[in-house]
């Protein structure tokens, strides 16, 4: 098949799956499941074939012309896109197959699978986009899909709330991205990504450094929102209110990955903007450390994983900011594999034991689920950076990048974060697998059927292989990105190994022998600080509530006083919140009209005299 057919099949198969499922298959969820799974399989086949074919010329179709600017819809087929497209398609297919088991009893399966297909379509179209505006559009659609999936169990008020929060917070970042994209339009006059990145005629050569810094910083604001970086990170832990397979997707190859991917996609711009990279490095480092501390104390298995995602995304951005595209993308891919694996494993535990609580899972006999436990060990090991699992190699690249790019303070911070990662990961593993010393086992055998049906086991196996072996793909990834890499000697790797070992040992001392209290319980101040997420959410809530309160009071006062004439019930009006609509009846139109006329008159007078 030629490239055009392949890419269209890859991106539009999920879309077709979505449309068919949502329009026609409401009454036959089984069929919807089959259709969506097939479409995801087609997408994966197409993505793999494209990857095997190797980089190709971009495809561009004129979408429309607005003013002097041509907008294209098309596909960019270079190493980065092709590789990440495979990762997205693979992980999505795994999640969809897994969902067949996980969501078997859900009454609205059709909606669920249709949304997954929509999500995949949006993400793949974002990844392959050739035009920056196209990227932005699909970036928004990825956010929209996340909103619906996080809020999928809308019966839970917390899920609805989390969905809204995720959407709002990422959209705050999008304000920056939008302005950045508009700036690109104004300065470059086009949105063609290869053209923007071109070393001879691209933005880097055409723009003044200050403008480039402004553009990249604005784009980074969008990345902060999407990739859940400090200070907009608080939506991600809440987003685990969605079904677990959705979390697996959200945290690995889609949604949060979109932010990091965008930076990698536009990397030459960031590389040329020193100031921006310094800012990113600081933000990413803070995020990596902050989120790691929160993961140390949470008892909810999905929340621990969510915090670890935030922290690992920080790692990726640190690498990119330090100047290593390879390290960032390498970790993006390995993380996608092992984080998807970890979420799927956690989903198996949750599905079987009907609890998110780490200790409860451990007590109910979490290690009895052999395959899941093995998956947890592989995924956790990779996350912690245990050699020779994949995470070790990608993290090692990040340390190397920081070592020669970022200065020592950041290197130390990265090692500290890696130490914390090893600690909280193995805390999680020990809590689940080591029997409680005081309360070793609570009989909990009311669960019927196989704990690990094949639909759920198969993806775990596939992803386990990926998470275990991806460390060896460094050369391939570097080749796809077209960068040279140097191989590290064992001596270079020693610090990383040491840090991980220290973390694991500390976790073992705390939790490895059946204890349930870590060293942090002896430092209550820290324990509470960490488990409250450094109170960041509370601060936001307080500030937000206060501001909206002010605004509401102000406007309500204006409304009520305006309507009421402001005389007979002065002051009381503001308090009578519910009476606003009643008061409409009293109508004080003259006031309205008078205001308007006076305002216009005054302005016209001012303009007339001044202009």
Partner 1 sequence: MELSLFAPELIALLGGLVLFAAPILGAGSATTWRLAVLAGSATFAGAVWSLPLSGEAFSPGIYYVDAFSQGVKVVVSLGYLLVVLGAREPVTLKAHAWSELPLFVLLASVGMMMMVSATELLTLYIAMELAAYPVYIAIALHRNPAIGGESSTKYMVQGMMASAVSLYGMSFLYGLAGSTYFEAITGQMGALSSTPLFWFGIILLLAGFLFKLAALPFHFWAPDTYEVSPHEVITFVASVSKVAAIAVLCRIMSLVMPAGMDACSVQNVLMWFAVGAMTLGNLAALRQSDLKRLLGYSAVAHAGYALIGVQAMSANGLTSALFYAVGYAAMSLICFLVVATVGRDQDRVSVEAMSGLWQRSPSMALVFLVGLLGLIGLPPTVGFIGKWFLFSAAIEQGQFVLVLVAAINATIALYYYLLVLRQIYLVDAPTDAAPLRWTPALALSAGVGSIVVVAMGVVPSPIWDQAAAAVATLLH
Under the rule (CB under 8 A), what is the footprint of partner 1?
63-67, 69, 133, 137-138, 140-141, 144, 151, 154, 160, 164, 167-168, 171-172, 174-175, 178-179, 182-183, 185-186, 548, 551-552, 555-556, 559, 562, 581, 584-585, 587, 589-590, 592-597, 599-601, 603-605, 607-611
- From the list 79, 112, 141, 10, the residue with the least C-alpha distance to 473 is 79
Residues 6+ apart with CB under 8 A from 258: 123, 126, 139, 142, 226, 227
Least gap, CB of 144 to partner 1 (angstroms)? 6
- Closer Cβ to partner 1, 357 or 559, answer by number: 559
To the nearest whole angstrom, how small is the minimum distance from the Cβ of residue 19 to partner 1?
Answer: 13
The residue among 130 and 341 lying less far from partner 1, judged by its C-beta, is 130
In whole angstroms, the minimum distance from the beta carbon of 574 to partner 1 comes to: 13
The whole-angstrom distance between residue 9's C-alpha and the CA centroid of its chain comes to 26
What does 71-101 look like in DSSP terms, one character per residue? EEEEE--SHHHHHHHHHHHHHHHHHHHHHHH
What is the smallest separation between the CB atom of 583 and partner 1, expressed in angstroms? 10
Token duo for residue 463: 């992803």
- 263, 226 in Cβ contact below 8 A? no
Rounded CA-CA distance 418/176 in Å is 30
Cβ nearer to partner 1, comparing 185 with 289: 185
In the bound state with partner 1, the residue whose beta carbon lies nearer, of 97 and 232, is 232
Nearer to partner 1, 31 or 144 (CB): 144
Comparison of 246 and 401: residue with beta carbon closer to partner 1: 246
- Name the minimum Å distance from CB 175 to partner 1: 4
Least gap, CB of 589 to partner 1 (angstroms): 5
Exposed (0-12), middle (13-18) or buried (19+): which is 448, by Cβ within 10 Å?
A: exposed
Q: Which is nearer to partner 1, 193 or 321 (CB)?
A: 193
Q: At what angle do helices 157-188 and 132-150 cross, to 10 degrees?
A: 180
Q: How far is the CB of 462 from partner 1 (least distance, A)?
A: 33
In contact, 276 and 216? CB cutoff 8 Å: yes
User: Closer to partner 1 at the Cβ: 524 or 610?
Assistant: 610
Exposure class string for 381-398: b at 16+ Cβ within 10 A, else e:
bbbbbbbebbbbbbbbbb
Nearest to 370 by CA among 425, 433, 431: 433
Supply the minimum distance, in Å, between the C-beta of residue 549 and partner 1.
10
């Amino acid at each position: 098949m030629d490239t055009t057919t392949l890419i269209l099949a890859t991106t539009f198969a999920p879309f077709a799956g979505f449309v068919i499922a949502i329009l026609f298959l409401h009454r036959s969820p089984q069929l919807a499941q089959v259709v969506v799974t097939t479409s995801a399989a087609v997408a994966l086949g197409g993505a793999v074939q494209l990857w095997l074919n190797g980089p190709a010329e971009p495809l561009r179709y004129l979408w429309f012309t607005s003013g002097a600017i041509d907008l294209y819809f098309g596909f960019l087929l270079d190493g980065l896109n092709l590789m990440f497209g495979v990762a997205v398609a693979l992980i999505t297919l795994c999640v969809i197959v897994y969902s067949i088991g996980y969501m078997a009893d859900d009454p609205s399966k059709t909606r669920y699978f249709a949304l997954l297909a929509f999500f995949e379509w949006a993400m793949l179209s974002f990844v392959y986009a050739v035009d920056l505006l196209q990227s932005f559009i699909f970036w928004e659609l990825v956010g929209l899909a996340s909103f619906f999936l996080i809020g999928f169990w809308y019966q839970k008020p917390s899920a609805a709330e989390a969905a809204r929060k995720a959407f709002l917070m990422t959209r705050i970042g999008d304000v920056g991205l939008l302005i950045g994209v508009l700036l690109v339009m104004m300065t470059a006059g086009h949105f063609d990504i290869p053209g923007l990145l071109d070393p001879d005629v691209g933005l880097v050569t055409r723009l003044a450094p200050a403008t480039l810094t402004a553009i990249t910083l604005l784009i980074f604001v969008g990345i902060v929102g999407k990739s859940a970086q400090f200070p907009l990170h608080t939506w991600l832990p809440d987003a685990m209110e969605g079904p677990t397979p959705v979390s697996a997707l959200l945290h690995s190859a889609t949604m949060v990955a979109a932010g990091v991917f965008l930076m990698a996609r536009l990397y030459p711009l960031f590389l040329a903007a020193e100031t921006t990279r310094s800012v990113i490095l600081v933000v990413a480092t803070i995020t990596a450390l902050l989120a790691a501390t929160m993961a140390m104390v949470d008892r909810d298995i999905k929340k621990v994983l969510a915090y670890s995602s935030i922290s690992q995304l920080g790692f990726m951005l640190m690498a990119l900011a330090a100047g290593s595209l390879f390290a960032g993308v390498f970790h993006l891919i390995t993380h996608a594999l092992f984080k998807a694996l970890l979420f799927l494993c956690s989903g198996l535990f949750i599905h079987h034991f009907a609890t998110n609580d780490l200790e409860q899972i451990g007590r109910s006999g979490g290690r009895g689920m052999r395959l899941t436990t093995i998956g947890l060990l592989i995924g956790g090991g990779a996350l912690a950076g245990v050699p020779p699992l994949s995470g070790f190699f990608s993290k090692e690249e990040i340390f190397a990048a920081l070592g020669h790019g970022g200065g020592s303070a950041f290197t130390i911070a990265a090692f500290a974060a890696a130490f914390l990662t090893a600690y909280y990961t193995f805390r999680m593993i020990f809590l689940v697998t080591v029997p409680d010393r005081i309360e070793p086992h609570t009989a909990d055998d009311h669960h019927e059927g196989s704990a690990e049906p094949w639909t759920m086991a198969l993806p775990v196996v596939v992803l386990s292989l990926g998470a275990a072996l991806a460390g060896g793909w460094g050369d391939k990834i570097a080749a796809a990105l077209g960068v040279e890499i140097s191989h590290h000697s064992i001596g270079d790797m020693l610090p990383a190994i040491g840090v991980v070992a220290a973390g694991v040992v500390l976790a073992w001392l705390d939790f490895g022998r059946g204890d349930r209290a870590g060293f942090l319980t002896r430092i209550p101040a820290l324990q509470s600080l960490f488990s409250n997420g450094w109170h960041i959410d509370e601060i936001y809530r307080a500030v937000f509530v206060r501001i909206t309160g002010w605004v509401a009071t102000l406007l309500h006062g204006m409304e009520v006083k305006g309507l009421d004439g402001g005389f007979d019930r002065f002051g009381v009006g503001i308090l009578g919140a519910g009476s606003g609509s009643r008061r409409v009846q009293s109508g004080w139109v003259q006031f309205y009209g008078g205001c308007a006329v006076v305002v216009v008159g005054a302005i016209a007078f001012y303009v007339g005299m001044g202009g």
